[in-house]
Amino acid sequence: MDVWEADPTYVGGISRTVVHKGFRFDIGGHRFFSKSGEVEAFWTEILGDDMLTRNRLSRIFYDGKFYNYPLEASEVVRNLGKRESLLSVGSYLSKKLFPVHQPANLEEWVTNKFGARLYAKFFKSYTEKVWGVPCREIAADWAAQRIKGLSLTRAALAAFWSPPATEAGSDRSKVIKSLIASFRYPRLGPGMMWEATAEHVRALGGQVTLGARVTQLIREDGAAEEATEGMARGEKAAACWQLEVEGPGLGAAGLAAGTRTYDQIICSAPLSWLVRSIRPGLAAEALAAAAALKYRDFITVALMLRTSKDFPDHWIYIHDPGIRAGRIQNFANWSPEMVPDSAITCLGLEYFCFQGDDLWSMADDELIALAARELEALGLAGNEPIVDGAVVRQPKAYPVYDDTYKTHIQSIQAALMSAGEGLQVVGRNGMHKYNNQDHSMMTAMLAVKNILSNQPIYDTWKVNQDAEYIETTGEATP
């Protein structure tokens, strides 16, 4: 088995852990919790005692006040005031009586669910920071995936009774991920999981090459009695694939750039890239669909500072429209070993952007200065100077669900099926689906099962954000 990773330093993609002078930070926070026992078992097998159990705490910062999530009724009334709370309840009840019957966008979907006033306070500003467009231009599918199963009633109940998510004997299929009370987390960050997995691959005789980029996938028709290299080999394959691979990592690994031949490929690279990289080229309709897929990009600005102030959250959602940061992480609260000096706090301010816009184009020192100003404006740190800072830019962090993406995906799926056997797509970018990491893992697990069985038993496209067709039954269905 060969793994070709374009990043010259890290494995794990958006789930990697970046290291800067001993400080470790995520590219977005990654809680390790799954309704799938198979995924949880994999994590335990790979890291064992290096998986910590953490009590979940994340809050919303709105209008200068903090709100626990899930929302606590007494806190909401105290912060909003009785009048605004009553108006919000009235708005909620009004939408229950007079809903939009077929919500066409995120604004209509969330307003149906929570009422117009709570939507405006606790969803609109943050969501538009994340996606960079008005909520009316975001497909309702995104809300249906990310907020599915959550209601004011269930959130209120969770505020009074919320058993730990890892409680023995609990029915994980009925747990709402947004409300879990505890989760697991690798001692040295999520990248530790994928670094250990890479070592397992190497120990089993596989090859993991960093700094190696695939530039083309060339499909060759006809039977291949034996592929020269491959992830799995059958006695006979309907077709074989040639990959063009280049990059500085090849020389470092003692390998030459050029063509490698395989009978099976699993691809987690962005779907838009894959479609335009297959030779012979796919149909014009598929190429146009791939070109129309959109992505939201992401910047983490990590600030190291000595401060008398601190907060206990893993992260805080910033709903203030006057602050450009969307979320702030406190990395030591994920694991103390993320920070090498307990006297220094490391906070990560997260900015959602598009490649080429003003945020993405800022110099690193300008981004660090912006993050420091916003942290001070929020009152989450004192006046102590910043000890150090680091910036990480992550392109294509989030696949965008606009009003046309579903039609584009259908065109691409049909084209990939016509391209022949031996190619499967997995993961968030590989499928252009806003999955959590455990659901991305499930798609890969099912792809491997298809290879081992030498036939496409499982449809990985059926693994949705909540992976219900797997998780509610505890097993995958063909």
Question: What is the full DSSP assignment across 198-236?
Answer: HHHHHHTT-EEEET-EEEEEEEEEEEESS-SS-SS--S-
Which range of 61-75, 138-152, 195-209 scores highest in mean pLDDT? It is: 195-209
Rounded mean pLDDT, 100-113:
91
Name the pTM for this structure: 0.86
Which tens digits make up the pLDDT trace of 38-60?
A: 999 999 999 999 999 999 888 99
Q: Is 204 within 8 Å of 424 (Cβ atoms)?
A: no
Rounded mean pLDDT, 183-204:
97
What residue spans define the domains of the chain?
72-160, 212-293+402-471
So what's the pLDDT on residue 476?
A: 36
Least confident of 138-152, 335-349, 434-448: 138-152
pLDDT at 174 over 60: no
So what's the pLDDT on residue 221?
A: 65
So what's the pLDDT on residue 239?
A: 54
Q: Is domain 212-293+402-471 given the CATH code 1.10.10 in the classification?
A: no
Rounded mean pLDDT, 421-435:
94
AA identity, residue 383: N
pLDDT at 141 over 60: yes
Which tens digits make up the pLDDT trace of 262-303?
A: 999 999 999 999 999 999 999 999 999 999 999 999 999 999
pLDDT at 253 over 70: yes
Rounded mean pLDDT, 458-471:
66
So what's the pLDDT on residue 148?
A: 55
Which are the contacts of 423, defined by CB distance < 8 A and separation ≥ 6? Answer: 217, 219, 241, 265, 267, 416
Query: Where residue 178 falls among pLDDT bands split at 50, 70, 90?
Result: low
pLDDT at 435 over 80: yes
- The torsion defined by the Cα of 310, 313, 319 and 323, in degrees rounded to 10, comes to 30
Which tens digits make up the pLDDT trace of 364-399?
A: 999 999 999 999 999 888 777 899 999 999 999 999
So what's the pLDDT on residue 274?
A: 98
pLDDT at 153 over 60: no
